[in-house]
Amino acid sequence: MSNFIDLKDLSKDQLLDLISLSIKWKKNPSPKFMNDKQVVLIFEKPSLRTRVSFEIGINQLGGKSYILNDKEMQLGQRETIEDTARVLERYADLIVIRCFGHSQLTKFASISSIPVINALTDFSHPCQVVADLVTIKENFGNYESLKVAWFGDCNNVLQSWIEASALLNIKFYIACPKNISPDKKTLSWAQDRNKNIIVTQDAYEAARGANCIITDTWNSMGDTNPLSENNFMPYQVNDKIIKLAEENVIFMHCLPAYRNKEVTPEVIESANSVVFDEAENRLHAQKAIMHFCFN
C-alpha cells in the first residue's frame, strides 16, 4: 500500500500510469476493486468537486465512504493527530484528507498504517493536477512538445504543477507578480530536473506560443493576508492573452472561477475552454489514485 501525498514522491512512470488508467476508466467501467473497503474522508475545508468526485468514485469502485467535516473534527484540535490516526486505522482501509496544514497531513500519514491521500492542503493539490494532466493528454496526446503557462497566484495547485512539470519534462512558464513567488525549495528541486521551468513577471512572454493556459483564483481559501487584486490584474487571462497562444490552445481552471477577475467570461465560455472536462476528470483521476494506494 502507498500514500498519495505529493507528486514529487512519484516516479515519472508512476505518474504516467495514473494518467493512462484515468483515461482507460473514463472510457470503460472500472473494476470494483474496493468491495468491502471503508474510506474515511476528513474535510476541514469546504469542497464541491473534490468531495463529490471522491464519494462517487468510491461508490463506483464498490466501497463505502464516511465524511468528517470541519464541524466534526479538525486535525490536532480536540485530540492529537497520533490518536486520531491510530483510531481510524482500526476502522477504515483508506483515509482522504483535505486540510489547511500540510505538516498535519504528513504527520498523519507517517503514523497511519493505512494509505492516506492528500485531497488538498495549503501547500499542494496533487489530485487536481493529475486531472489536469489527463485533460491535456486527451487534447494533445503527449506532453513533450507542449508549452504550458500558469497565470496569477503562486498557490497549492501551482506547487503540484511545478512537481509534475519536473517529472514529465514539460515546458512550464509561471507568470506572477514580483512580490510573490513559488516555493523556493520546490522550484530549485524542479529546475535541477527540468531547465524549462521559467518564472516571469511578463504575462505576454508566458502566453506567447502556449498550448495550455491555466489560472486559478487570485486569493486562495483561508488566506489570512491576501494580496491586493490590483497586483494580479496584469495576469488576468483575457482575449489578449489567448491571442498570443497557439490557435488550438486550451484554457483550464480548477474552479470555482471568478469571472472578470482571474479570467474573463469570453475566455472561460469559449471553445478553447475545457474547464468542465477538467472537472469531470477529477472523478477518473481520483479512482486511479485510489487504485495506486491499494496496489
Catalytic residue positions? 98, 125, 128, 216, 254, 282
Mutual angle of helices 156-168 and 184-193, in 10-degree steps? 20
The Cα–Cα gap between 58 and 92 comes to 13
What does the alpha-carbon distance between residue 97 and residue 108 come to, in Å, rounded to a whole number? 9
d(CA 93, CA 36): 9
Angle 117-43-84 from CA coordinates, rounded to 5° = 75
Burial degree of 116 (CB within 10 A; 0-12, 13-18, 19+): buried
Ordered DSSP codes for 204-229: HHHHTT-SEEEE--SS-TT-SSPPPH
Q: Is 111 helix (H, G, I), strand (E, B) or coil?
A: helix
Cβ atoms of 132 and 252 closer than 8 Å? yes
Q: Please state, in angstroms and rounded to a whole number, the distance separating the CA atoms of residues 120 and 97.
A: 7
C-alpha cell at 182: 513559488
